[in-house]
Structure 1
Amino acid sequence: NRAYTFHADPGFSFGEGWYLAAAALFAGLAIQIRPGAVQEVPARRFLCDAGLEGSVRPYRSRPASPKHLTHIIAEAFRADAAKAQCTLRAAFLGEESPAASLRSWIAGKVAGKPEEKVLLWVRTGNHDALRNTCFAELRQLSRLVVNAGLIPIFFGDNVPLELVPPSAVDLTLGWKEPLFQGPDMRRAQLQLFEELRCRHGLVGQMGVTTAGMDGPALLGLPTLYLTQERNVRLGKWVGAVPGYQEVVREPGYCEIIRTTLQQWQQ
């Protein structure tokens, strides 16, 4: 079986779908979806909208291993980063403007905060829990963002309210809103980030290694991810995907973050 499984169950990483769809666009890979999966309809809708309907095959056991998908993406970006990014933006975002309901929802969340903003991703899942967000570090990241004159936008899993400063925007668990749970849930989430970037001053994103960040990263949002040691899979994107940065938790790593925040403001 040479088809790669596009996971459509909430228990699997939502962001892994970005890898597979991107690699399929670049290398013509075959894709399969488990029939009856909870998010089968949104998955098929996303692939169809991305021009990958012809890549979908009947579901079979023993699918191809996805470990080298990030390598395929890195090679496409190294060959021609502008072309690769254009391909993904056209496929993932399409030509239609975001729905008025989405724009209204976003405007309501960031009302009265015109300053430039940074997404702070929060991960608290059960899978590979050692990679989860450390709340002490999250507080430190938030302070760095605020001290740089930027507004943090918390996004992803839930976070204790005491960690969210008064100036921040709290969009944690926002992905559970009906707006982002319909048949077009994948495109809607990417349109959320794009709308924040184009209309509300979003200049970058940072967090632990969570695949959810990689959709907007591939579409051009400057990205900094924190890791305990060099990441073999995602490290291939550093120097290939524009604005994609890996920061290992070594002495002085906060200074690297501080410098990056200054660069994002320029």
Structure 2
Amino acid sequence: MVEEDTVTRMLYNETDSGEFTRKVVTLLGEATALQGTLHMPGVRDDYRSRLEQVVLLARRALGNAGENREVALLQWVLVQALGARGEDARYGAGQLSRGSQRAPTLEDCEDGWQRVEQIVCNAEDAALETARIAQLLNTAKAREIARRAEVAGKAARKIVLERNRAYTFHADPGFSFGEGWYLAAAALFAGLSIQIRPGAAQELQVRRFLFDAGLEGSLRPYRSRPASPKHLTHIIAEAFRTDAPGAQCTLRAGFLGDESPSAALRSWIDGKVGGKLEQKVLLWVRTGDHDAQRNTCFDELRQLSELVLNAGLTPIFFGDKVPLELVPPSAVNLTLCWKEPLFQGPDMRRAQLQLFEELRCRHGLVGQIGVTTAGMDGPALMGLPTLYLTQERNVRLGKWVGAVPGYQEVVREPGYFEIIRTTQHHWQQ
């Protein structure tokens, strides 16, 4: 057993060791001095690099060490450096796991988690090596460092074991209703796991929708740190690029099922639009607090309405509240209809989709225009031609352009109304 005080004195007494060993001791001191500033930019990378050098040089020096005192010193250096590496690896695994979970695509997410696994293995290897050398030193301080390294290794492994692979289906009215279309569609295509926060306002309605879509087996208990919804549009795009007709058929079967719309729904639709025989276009209205810069511009909405009317089509206003003076006498105003009991019951999600389908099949609906609101995307994925307006290219939804049939992005650039006019003409054909 090496005396504790002797080892400590050796660590800071360069004259007790050879030149190579003194260099190792100096490097460890430099690395240790950085521990209070690891939160600052670039410092942690420098810290890791120094620890790596300490471990490499200390191992090399051990192979050439002659006297027991120098061997003990190098072992003590290694215990500290390896213990520090293990704890840093645990921290790195935690940080990278959070970033990986939020990655923009499923492929990026999986790649990030593979790197997390590598870091976790490094933490475990460091813990084992620290324990081995601490046993040789057989001092209280060495054993304590080994204990901390073991705790770090287990904590790092726990990060991987407790990874949450489920995506949250938000059942709270405060979240985007349309995001549910993304998750249900991606789950049908890729077998994703789904979780719902217990006690959410619309939990029962969401469970009913997933059950009707054949996704009840995808549900998992609710946990923190779910997978990122950013992946979903990418998964959907890949499915459509592989087989667009097949993807659309899968969604229609899941979202609409085999049953006909209820008599109550058909009667409601007839009462709202039954007497208007012209072809129709949905004009979406968005006025939410989230990303308010994406909200509908009412001056643009007025111009869109005029464009629809001039083409001989009937505009159907849908979504959030619209000033009544913007709704022409010949138009249909279905804004806020989603708040009616018919669309708030247990089958609320399927009822909304059946509404769009009925409008399309029995009331001449030929397409929809609106800002980037997720509510449009349910009918779009099922085949309703769609123009979504955006200030600049949309990274997430842009993946669907050219993949989902009839899904078109219109950037507000000079001449964009002409694009809308031309597209409407194609819809009429």
Asked if residue 176 in structure 1 is aligned to residue 339 in structure 2, the reply is: yes
Q: Where does residue 255 of structure 2 map in the other structure?
A: 92
2 CA distance for matches of 1:66 and 1:171? 29
Q: 2:374 aligns with which of 198, 211, 218?
A: 211
Aligned 1:250-265 pairs, distance under 5 A: 250-265=413-428
Match for residue 138 of structure 1? 301
Give the secondary structure class of the aligned counterpart of 1:247: strand
- Secondary structure of the structure 2 residue equivalent to 1:230: coil
Q: Deviations over 1:52-103 (max 9, x none)?
A: 0000000001111110110000000000000000000000000000000000
- Matched AA of 1:85: Q
Q: Which structure is larger by alpha-carbon Rg, 1 or 2?
A: 2
Partner of 2:185: 22
- From 149, 154, 165, give the equivalent of 2:312: 149
Q: For 1:51, give the aligned amino acid.
A: G
- Partner in structure 1 of residue 404 of structure 2: 241
Which residue does 2:170 correspond to in 1?
A: 7
**Residue 195 of structure 2, aligned match among 32, 45, 70:** 32
TM-score normalised to structure 2 length? 0.62
Q: After TM superposition, where is structure 1 displaced by more than 3 Å over at least 4 residues in a row? A: none
Deviation of the 1:111 alpha carbon:
2.9
- C-alpha distance after superposition, 1:143-199 (max 9, x if no partner): 000000000000000000000001100000001110000010000000000000000
Q: Partner amino acid for 1:72? A: I
TM-score of the pair, normalised by structure 1: 1.00
Equivalent of residue 280 in structure 2, options 94, 117, 138? 117
Name 1:107's counterpart in structure 2: 270
SS in 1 for 2:230: coil
Distance 1:19 1:110 in 2: 29
Report the CA distance between 1:9 and its aligned residue: 0.1
Matched position secondary structure for 1:68: helix
Greater fraction helix: 2
- Greater RCO, CA 8 A, separation 6+: 1
What is the CA–CA distance in structure 1 between the aligned matches of 2:376 and 2:319, rounded to whole Å? 10
In percent, how many aligned pairs have the same letter? Answer: 88
Match of 1:81 among 244, 255, 259: 244
Alignment match, 2:129 = none
Question: How far off is 1:112 after superposition?
Answer: 1.8
Provide the residue aligned with 1:197 in structure 2: 360
Q: What amino acid does structure 2 have at the position aligned with 1:138?
A: L
Q: Secondary structure at the match of 1:224?
A: strand
Q: What's the counterpart of residue 63 of structure 1? A: 226
- Once residues 86 and 230 of structure 1 are traced to their aligned partners in structure 2, the CA distance between those partners, rounded to angstroms, is 28
Note the alpha carbon deviations across 1:179-221, whole angstroms, 9 max, x for none.
Answer: 0000100000000000000000000001000000000000000
Answer yes or no: is the 8 Å Cα contact 2:274–2:363 preserved in 1.
no
Could you tell me which runs of 5 or more consecutive residues in structure 2 were left unpaired when the two chains were aligned.
1-163
Q: Map residues 217-232 of structure 1 onto 2, 5 A cutoff.
A: 217-232=380-395
What are the Cα deviations for residues 23-49 of structure 1, in whole angstroms up to 9, with x where unaligned? 011111000000000000000000010
Alignment gaps of 5+ in structure 1: none
Q: Which structure carries more strand by proportion?
A: 1
> What is the number of residues matched between the two proteins?
266
